[in-house]
Chain A
Amino acid sequence: MTTLKPDAVVVGGGAAGMAAALELEKAGCSCVIVEREEGLGGILMQCAHAGFGLVEFDEELTGPEFAERFAEKVLASKVTVLDGATALELRDEGERKVLDCCSAKRGVVRIEARAVVLAMGCRERNRGNVRIPGSRPAGVYTAGLAQRLVNIEGVVPGRRVVVIGSGDIGLIMARRMSWIGAKVEAVVEILPYPSGLTRNIVQCLEDFGIPLYLGHQTTRIFGKDRVEGVEIAPLENGALDLSRARTIPCDTVLLSVGLVPENELSRGAGVELNPATGGPKVDSTLMTNVPGVFACGNVLHVHDLVDWVAEEARRAGAHAAAWLRGERPGPELRVKAGANVRYVAPVKVDLSRKNRVYFRSLAVLHGATLEARIDRRVVRKIRKGHVQPSEMQSIELGPEDFADLAEAGSDAVLEIALV
């Protein structure tokens, strides 16, 4: 068994892991990236469509192009990349964090580091998670698996497709399947509004004449060997109206019903998770409750754009480097989700500097105003107009917003609300 002893280990070589590692290296820390796949890039590598990098690079790139820009820098840097390597276990031994990983090339490698950046990304929710009844024929795939099959393996998953859920990958795949000559019969969304970005609804469904059934539940998948169809029914005031159930014949079902941060490794190390995001609870430096363990990207909370992943991951890398230098955050203030807000990340802000807090709305709101309040006192008010859960929001708060905090008392809480 080989043992490596870098300053920091980054778990995951996707956009988040690469951005964090580059930042660590820039700060002079030795760093190892552990990546499951052969090569860097993570899930970006199967995202053949454009739309990445508008914020990060001010141009529209495909997933692999976006990943390539980071991967080139990583490979040119002193960062060590262990790819094709699966992380087995992360242990917190106080000053020392131990990550065991294994690969066909190197066997088990034990990495003993003083800091860890979790950047494992997320996984797709599956049929069982959303409890769609019926038979279990071949031809039911998550949208991400179908994307892999088409874009990388070069195979056709099926000819007549129903997409369940209107998450972004599902919308992208509806278009992709149309392009390869399949007929996409419908996209079925249980919520009264789409789960994906508006630009994807327009570019992937409307431009291809694919019907979107909002407020419809999939009540059954049927078929013996291969999928033969799905049955859907509308929801009226939250209840299924089975009298208006209808059957859509198809041979393939793609599921795009949400993403879940993948934190099994984190949990094993004692990292506390936020039930609202499925990701770790992190402080103003993106550090988890386990000192020296940081988190960023989709393992922390599911992002809408990779550009924000890179932004957040850079901060995680820089904070991890600062932590390694012995720096600690100043006095912090707890942040919580207020009215109409599903979650906030991080859950603490540093009173002495600028902080960026990401959050998502709980519902589609028109004419919304974002309010940051400390103990009910509004410290910042921003007109937002239209907000929807599919689009991630952020707010920057700095010392000027915390000026009168002495009055509020030491157990004050910052609340982010949409009103």
Chain B
Amino acid sequence: MSGISDVLVIGAGVSGACVARRLSAYELDVVLVDREPDVSFGTSKANSGIVHGGFHHSGAKLKARLEIQGNLMFDRLKRELDFPFERCGIVVAALHDEEMRAIEQLHRQGLENGAVGIEMCSRERILELEPALGPEVVGGLHAPGGGIVEPYRFVFAVVESALKNGVALRTGFKAVRAERVGEIWRVHAEDGRAIDARWVVNAAGLYADEVSALFGAEDFAIKPRKGEYYLLDRAARAKPRKVVFPVPSANSKGMLVIPTVEGTVLVGPTADDVGDKGDFGTTRERLERILASARSLVPAVSEADVIASFAGLRPVSGDDFYIDLSARAPNLVQVAGIQSPGLTASPAIGEYVKDLLKKGGLRLVEKASYDPFLEPKPRVRETDAFGIDRLVAEDPAYGNIVCRCERVSEAEIVAAIRAGHDTLDGIKYFTRAQMGRCQGGFCTYRIVKIIMRETGKDWDEVTKRGGASRLVEGEL
């Protein structure tokens, strides 16, 4: 190896991960970097986790085309990568007759976009499809092709597949300077590391504008738009069968009630432009507004079932995705403004960026050894008593249940750590430990001790999510 990579992908969120995996099918040297201590720690970790139904956006937009295309790729991806995904369907509920006009509009748009199986629903039909809806519903739209996915697990699986096929991952790599050295880009990180690459893909999410500036490329601004959410217990009475949308407004798809693929219920998000890319705070007023809005759709939504609240930031730049070869900087592909439906579109984004690179002159030779499949991982939560007994016979650590609420074993936590997820949050997103109703009250210390044993770290070196987020001061 010359030390010069073919492609450097900046940003290991869902877009960058899908680009890297797609490129891993070719004879290329690909490096994927992220500023955070783990992958999927930006926009990709805090969103609605929806595979959209293809009716929300006009087909004139790139994002609508990639949404439809991406949606269709999820079944195959699930077979290859074994991540939680379910095509449970989406309903949009109209609460007044006037809202049915908007439903008709969405229906027509969906038909034009080619959304599979989309239908207009009478009151009777929509209540049959989704009995959790309130009595005020007058009708709505049903998109059976919509679904739910665990977004971080999707990214983890995509990255794992990319790594399996030769991609190199560098976390904690915060790009601060890019220089042109002959025909290559030399990209420097804040900590002094540098990577040389012939091509660069800017998939830096919230920071795509700043990364673009490093390369002297297009001048655009990423404006964070905050979405706050409430997470409800898996035993919540308010569990719809399908993703429930209200009729959308001008700048947002509205606040939803989402039966997550892992059995909890998510309500939200809000949509508020904020100034700070690090502002993940939730507010009382907005959270109360979410509950009120969710109850108007699904009356059984109760504050008594809330187990957590959180916020995510959408990287907004204009009203469409910006994915193109840079016109100002050589050998740079911009993948910016990937807000909703970015998760749905991401597999198609991987495809689209691969084509752009080819168009730009990157030579693509298929790799004979490319293996799109990941070995399914045993999960105690999804295994019956006999199966658990067999797992424990192979590895006793499967019998030690560390997270009681989500039933996660020590073996699964060790596997997460060995795959590089060695912060509390990384383990949470990878295994679901700490994600249940006690929110880590019982298992945090157990997980910390496993991290210490596996990595040799001390108490005060274990963090929640890297940086200064250390958990304790140290020993007494």
Contacts and interface: CB of A to CB of B under 8 A. Distances in A.
Do A and B bind? yes
Contacts of B230: 131
Contact of A104 (B303, B400, B440, B468): B400
B395 to A, nearest CB: 9
A123 B472 contact: no
A75 interface: no
Interface string B416-442: 000000001000000000000111111
A107 B472 contact: no
Interface in A217-270: 219-220, 222, 224-226, 264, 267
Given A107-B399, A124-B441, A133 B309 contact: yes
Nearest to B307: A128
Interface string A298-310: 0000000000000
A327 to B, nearest CB: 33
A89 B410 contact: no
A138 B471 contact: yes
B278 to A, nearest CB: 6
Contacts of A220: 281, 283
A222 B476 CA distance: 26
Nearest to B468: A225
Contacts of B308: 126-128
Given A133-B309, A134-B281, A145-B444, A157 B410 contact: no
A153 interface: yes
B388 A107 contact: yes
Contacts, number: 150
Interface in A185-231: 219-220, 222, 224-226
A124 B310 CA distance: 20
B467 interface: yes
Nearest to B281: A135
Contact of B474 (A106, A107, A155): A155
Contacts of A133: 281-284, 287, 309
A148 B464 contact: no
Interface in B380-412: 380, 385-386, 388-389, 392-393, 396-401, 404, 407, 410
A86 B404 contact: yes
B306 A129 contact: yes
B307 A180 contact: no
B282 A156 contact: no
Contact of A144 (B388, B439, B441, B449): B441
Given A102-B388, A131-B303, A126 B472 contact: no
B439 A128 contact: yes
A145 B303 CA distance: 24
Contacts of A148: 445
Contact of B410 (A104, A124, A136, A219): A104
A134 B279 CA distance: 10
B370 interface: no
A224 B230 CA distance: 20
A: interface residue count bin: 35 or more
Contact of B388 (A108, A131, A141): A108
B442 A123 contact: yes
B475 interface: yes
B72 to A, nearest CB: 35
A124 B389 contact: no
Contacts of A135: 280-282
A97 interface: no
Given A155-B472, A159-B473, A126 B281 contact: no
B208 interface: no
A86 B308 CA distance: 25
Contact of B401 (A86, A138, A159, A267): A86
B352 interface: no
A158 B474 CA distance: 9
Nearest to B389: A108
A137 interface: yes
A226 B468 contact: yes
A386 interface: no
B463 interface: yes
A406 interface: no
Contacts of B438: 123-124, 126
Contact of A106 (B280, B399, B441, B444): B399
A48 to B, nearest CB: 12
Contact of B476 (A84, A128, A154, A267): A154
Max chain B CB contacts within 10 Å: which of A106, A131, A150? A131
A36 interface: yes
B350 to A, nearest CB: 30
Nearest to B404: A86
A224 B278 contact: yes
Contacts of A55: none
B385 A156 contact: no
Contacts of B399: 102-108
Contacts of A139: 471
Contacts of A1: 385-386, 389
A149 B472 contact: yes
Nearest to B471: A138
Nearest to A181: B476
A88 interface: yes
A43 B375 CA distance: 39
B252 interface: no
A131 B287 contact: yes
A220 B439 CA distance: 18
Interface in A107-140: 107-108, 110, 123-124, 126-129, 131, 133-139
A390 interface: no
B307 A108 contact: no
Given A86-B404, A128-B308, A153 B470 contact: no
B459 interface: yes
Nearest to B401: A86
A168 interface: no
A157 B472 contact: yes
Given A107-B389, A126-B438, A149-B445, A131 B309 contact: yes
Contacts of A126: 307-308, 438-441
10 contacts: A86-B404, A102-B385, A123-B442, A128-B231, A128-B308, A138-B470, A138-B471, A145-B442, A154-B476, A155-B476
Interface of B: 230-231, 235, 278, 280-284, 287, 303, 306-310, 380, 385-386, 388-389, 392-393, 396-401, 404, 407, 410, 424, 437-442, 444-445, 449, 459, 463-465, 467-476
Given A103-B392, A104-B396, A145-B444, 5 more contacts: A88-B385, A105-B399, A108-B386, A126-B440, A267-B235
Interface of A: 1, 36, 84, 86, 88-89, 100, 102-108, 110, 123-124, 126-129, 131, 133-139, 141-142, 144-145, 148-150, 153-159, 180, 219-220, 222, 224-226, 264, 267
